[in-house]
Structure 1
Amino acid sequence: MKIRHSVHPSDFKHYDTDRLRQHFLIEELFAGGRITMVYTHEDRMVIGGAKPAGEALLLEAADTLKTDYFLERREIGFINIGGDAVITVDGESYELGLLDTLYVGMGARDLRLASRSANEPAKIYFCSALAHTAKPTRKVSVQEANTLHLGALETSNERTLHQIIHEGGVQSCQLMLGVTLLKPGSVWNTMPAHLHDRRMEAYLYFNLGPDARVFHLMGSPEETRHLVVANEQAVISPAWSIHSGAGTSNYAFIWAMAGENYTFKDMDLVTMDTLK
């Protein structure tokens, strides 16, 4: 498990491209036959991915967490973006098709990630946040999510937003998770931009072609920078940063948040004349 430390916004504005990418971009999450994880000190979220190729992969605490098992003091949300997945939680198996989500609460001891077929391996993305109490394990399909149809083709941001783990859906302690799908011809996400200084956010961009890229905007509204992001790469967004982007084609992204507030109503909107 790799560790990413927190960054102060005053230091951030002096970063060059390489340093931006080292701190905030996760370039490879789905290596065959293993679990890849990044521990960020931004609200202590763990961001990870797995592409099981043969035997089931055991999700372990490792030395980084200093706990006896991964979910001793954590909760986790899994979402599958590949072939059918099988996740086993303390001996009980859950099958996840495309964009199905599994929430597992604090206290589950044995988590194993597998592909239903080695010929069509799963790609299991997950985000884990600190937890203070145990919530029930629950599987939910994208069709069961709270779905919003937003934007318009005229503004290049027609999209479908699925809220999955949140106060009105799958219950958690602090983790929030969902997926947004942009329609063909639309490229912008989360613009006009906003901040939520009480929560960090992580983005996983996917459904991009080999030559397509997303230009992810981040930083303080008055001091923005960008990352060039390829398919199935993730971005860590600190609480003080905007998080927005435009692609060279349409795409999808999974968003996950952790922090103090457990609501979508605490956003501070950023007007276009503020961005620089």
Structure 2
Amino acid sequence: MKLRYTADINSYKRMTNAELKEAFVVDDLFTPGETVLTYTDVDRAIVGSIVPQQKPLELPQSKELGSDYFCERREIGVINIGGDGVIEVDGERFAMTYKDSLYIARESRDIQFTSNDPKQPAQYYLVSYPAHRTTKTTHVSKPNAKHIELGSAVESNERTINQSIRPGIVDSCQLVMGFTELEEGSVWNTKPPHTHRRRSEIYMYFEYNDDNRVFHFMGEPSETRSLVLAAGTAVISPAWSIHSGAGTSNYTFIWAMGGENQTFDDMDHIPISEIS
């Protein structure tokens, strides 16, 4: 497991583009045949990917967790952005098609990730936070998520928010997770930008080609910085930072939050006129 130490609210202002990327961006995801995990000091979150091919892959025990197995004191949210596959949790099998979500509860011990077709492998994206209680592992297909339509074509931010791991659908401890799909012709997400000092958030951008990029904006409203991200890249957002983006085409991003509460609307909006 790799370790990621982020910059604080003052030092990021003096960092180069390369230093900002090293502090906040996770760009080694979705390696075929491998489990890739990064542990960040922001709320002790773990972000990673699992791309099984011929053989099943598992979550390794790691000294960074100080536990006997990965989920001994953790919960995990998983969303599949590749081919069909199966996740087996303590003997129970969950079929995972494109954009299906799986919440894996604390104390789940034996977890295996497989692909139905090694030539078109599943690409499991995961985010994990510490969990204080044991709940129930729950599968959520895309149709069973809560869908919220927002924005407009006029403002270039017509989008659908798909909330798959959230209260009322999944009984999680602190993890809230889902994905936002932008319509063709729309490029702005999270408009207006906001912070939520009671929670951290991790974005992972995908569904755009190699010729396009997303410009992710971070930092305090009065001191924003931009990170230029290729598809399949995650970015860590501390509680003090805004998180917003504009792409050179439409795209989709997975968001995951952990912190003091699970109230999706608990955010402090920043008027565009105050961004600099």
TM-score higher than 0.5:
yes
RMSD in angstroms over aligned alpha carbons? Answer: 0.8
Where do residues 89-128 of structure 1 align in structure 2 (5 Å cutoff)?
89-128=89-128
Which amino acid in the other structure matches residue 181 of structure 2? L
Identical aligned pairs, as a percentage?
Answer: 48
Distance 2:177 2:169 in 1: 10
Distance 1:15 1:191 in 2: 26
Distance 1:166 1:221 in 2: 28
- Superposed displacement of residue 75, structure 1: 0.4
Distance 1:20 1:168 in 2: 37
Aligned twin of 1:40: 40
Aligned twin of 1:54: 54
Q: Is the 8 A contact 2:102 2:140 kept in 1?
A: yes
Distance 2:27 2:133 in 1: 32
Distance 1:139 1:265 in 2: 24
Higher alpha-carbon deviation: 59-68 or 92-101: 59-68
- Superposed displacement of residue 6, structure 1: 3.8
- Superposed displacement of residue 102, structure 1: 0.6
**Counterpart secondary structure, 1:20:** helix
Aligned twin of 1:141: 141
- Superposed displacement of residue 247, structure 1: 0.2
Give the 4+ runs in structure 1 shifted more than 6 A. Answer: none
Which amino acid in the other structure matches residue 34 of structure 2? R
Distance 1:146 1:36 in 2: 29
Q: Is the 8 A contact 1:85 1:124 kept in 2?
A: no
Number of aligned residues: 276
- If the length of structure 2 is used for normalisation, what is the TM-score? 0.98
Aligned twin of 1:86: 86
Q: Is the 8 A contact 1:25 1:235 kept in 2?
A: yes
Distance 2:12 2:242 in 1: 13
Distance 1:61 1:265 in 2: 35
Aligned twin of 2:264: 264
Q: Is the 8 A contact 2:6 2:24 kept in 1?
A: no
Aligned twin of 1:65: 65
- If the length of structure 1 is used for normalisation, what is the TM-score? 0.98
Which amino acid in the other structure matches residue 103 of structure 1? Y
**Counterpart secondary structure, 1:42:** coil
Which amino acid in the other structure matches residue 211 of structure 1? D
Distance 2:262 2:159 in 1: 23
